[in-house]
Structure 1
Amino acid sequence: MLKLGSRTVLLPVDLQLAFDRAPWPPRNNPASDENGLALLAAWRRKGWPIIHVRHDSVEPGSTLTPGTPGHTFRPGFVPREGEPLVTKSVNSAFIGTDLDLRLKRIGADAVVVFGISTDMCVSTSVRTGANMGWRMILAADACFCFDQKDLDGTVIPADAIHRAHVATLGAEFATAVTTAAILKAVDQPQAA
């Protein structure tokens, strides 16, 4: 059974508007925002720690450049007062940031990750966190990814990419579960 508690940190990754418009290709999982908002609501209700992650691109012309419309948080995902924000310019939320130090200062016992995209920044953050010794939990249905072309130009559907990444992350780097399973664990009585 999944065990969570007051030192389990919620890590929403890159929940920004850019991903809803060109040049981003078609995506999967239209329920991801709803599931992510349910996780945020549960953590806020419990008063458990949340650390938001935002991508601040340094690439010329990026839709995630600070000051552009796409850089803005998606509706409902804006950090509230007292909820820290980690900004990054690479795929992993741990690289070039103070996330590891923040987790240590909280005394975190686990990190629940969700966001955009399953195969890029979510996957890289989960893998890095696991390699650094953190107990990582992936909220698989609160993530989405995009169609991608393989080497011969064939489009691999977003859902296939998502499923493969959830499977590999769950096999080696994280406990991969549904939002419903996480919400059930949040509401379980905690041992003293």
Structure 2
Amino acid sequence: MEIAENAALVVVDVQKGFEEEEFWGTRNNPEADDNIASLLDVWQATGRPVVFVRHDSTKPESPLRPGYAGNGFKEYVEERRGKGAGAELLVTKTVNSAFYGSPDLDAWFKAEGITQFVVVGIQTNMCAETTARMGGNLGYEVVFALDATYTFDLAGPFGWRREAEELAQATAVSLHGGGFAQVVTTETVRTAAAQ
């Protein structure tokens, strides 16, 4: 795999509010935060651009609502902001896709000449997946570091319920099999970016 010298790392919604297990339920992939941190370190050390995405929920009960402590980035993310040699952007959004945030991510990518980006963050099957899908639709080369994401168990229609790991696998199959993104491991991305 090749990671371009100006490939962006898109860090989706790595916010304190996702630590509130009583609100979200059971999560998968306890290694995700370490994997996200390791990719941030590689990106910043190699001078590649990083996009920090923050979800500003409009739901008054959400742990991600503005003005609530959970809206802020997790400590390991916050302490890395502004520390890289490359360009950095903060995008805020109220919907699933980082491409429907402010400032305009697509316009920024085009202005910076970025054609490839790597998605990490929370939740695998929600905002991370939606951002990857839209990126694929917009013609970007999207890399999805599956083990640098996590999600939660979820109830759906017809009494169906799926565990977080099942949902993560479904995302991986849909993105990769559907041609929206190349789904890989953190180690694959880290190795390619360090070359």
Q: TM-score range, shorter-chain basis?
A: over 0.9
* Higher share in helix: 2
Structure 1 residue 174 and structure 2 residue 144: aligned? no
Q: Return the offset for 1:23.
A: 1.1
Structure 1 residue 149 and structure 2 residue 148: aligned? no
Which residues of structure 2 form unaligned runs of 5+?
Answer: none
| Aligned partner of 1:184 among 160, 167, 191 | 191
CA contact (8 A) 1:119 1:165 kept: yes
**71-80 vs 86-95, which moves further:** 71-80
| Aligned partner of 1:86 among 67, 79, 91 | 91
Structure 1 residue 112 and structure 2 residue 101: aligned? no
State how far apart, in whole Å, the 2-side matches of 1:64 and 1:92 are. 15
Question: What RMSD, in angstroms, separates the aligned Cα atoms of the two structures?
Answer: 1.3
Which residues of structure 1 form unaligned runs of 5+?
Answer: none
Structure 1 residue 102 and structure 2 residue 108: aligned? yes
Q: Return the offset for 1:47.
A: 0.7
Matched residue SS, 1:76: helix
Q: TM-score, normalised by structure 1?
A: 0.93
State how far apart, in whole Å, the 1-side matches of 2:17 and 2:118 are. 23
* Within-5 A mapping of 1:1-192: 2-21=1-20, 22-78=22-78, 80-81=81-82, 83-97=88-102, 98-171=104-177, 172-188=179-195
CA contact (8 A) 2:92 2:101 kept: no
Q: Write the letter of the residue equivalent to 1:86.
A: V
**Off by >6 Å, runs of 4+ in structure 1:** none
CA contact (8 A) 2:144 2:184 kept: yes
Percent of counterpart pairs with the same letter?
Answer: 40
State how far apart, in whole Å, the 2-side matches of 1:158 and 1:108 are. 32
Q: Return the offset for 1:183.
A: 0.7
Count of residue correspondences: 187
CA contact (8 A) 1:8 1:112 kept: yes
CA contact (8 A) 2:91 2:101 kept: no
Matched residue SS, 1:73: coil
Q: Return the offset for 1:59.
A: 2.0
State how far apart, in whole Å, the 2-side matches of 1:152 and 1:58 are. 27
Q: TM-score, normalised by structure 2?
A: 0.92
